């Protein structure tokens, strides 16, 4: 049985970064993006290319996250939006 794949959103990337206390400027430098572009990705205002996605994923893993933890953050960020709409 194959594990289900997940794709992080900019919002989930932002939450994961904030949990670890990493400033966006530091994160952007480590993944090789401008501060502005990284910020736009996190806000969902810019697309996330395949290359940038894997740069960000690699950096999150280097920050100590497992794929399971990242999947949980992704699920939580998606469900929080749905729960806020229902209120």
Q: What are the angstrom distances between the C-alpha of 10 and each of 4, 5, 37, 69, 75?
A: 20, 17, 11, 16, 13
**73 against 86, higher pLDDT:** 73
Reported pTM: 0.83
Mean pLDDT of 15-24: 97
Q: Residue 17: how many CB atoms within 10 A of its CB?
A: 21
* Structure tokens belonging to residue 66: 């497992």
**83 against 40, higher pLDDT:** 40
What are the pLDDT digits (tens) for 20-79? 999 999 999 999 999 999 999 999 999 889 999 999 999 999 999 999 999 999 999 888
All structural domains of the chain: 10-86 (1.10.260.40)
pLDDT at position 64 is: 97
pLDDT at position 1 is: 39
Alpha helical stretches, state H, 10-66: 10-19, 24-31, 35-43, 50-62
């Amino acid at each position: 049985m194959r594990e289900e794949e997940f794709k992080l959103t900019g919002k989930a990337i932002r939450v994961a970064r904030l949990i670890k206390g990493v400033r966006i400027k530091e994160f952007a430098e480590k993944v090789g993006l401008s501060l502005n572009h990284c910020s736009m990705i996190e806000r969902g205002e810019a697309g996330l290319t395949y290359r940038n996605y894997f740069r960000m994923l690699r950096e999150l893993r280097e920050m100590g996250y497992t794929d399971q933890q990242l999947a949980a953050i992704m699920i939580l960020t998606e469900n929080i939006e749905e729960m806020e709409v229902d209120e």
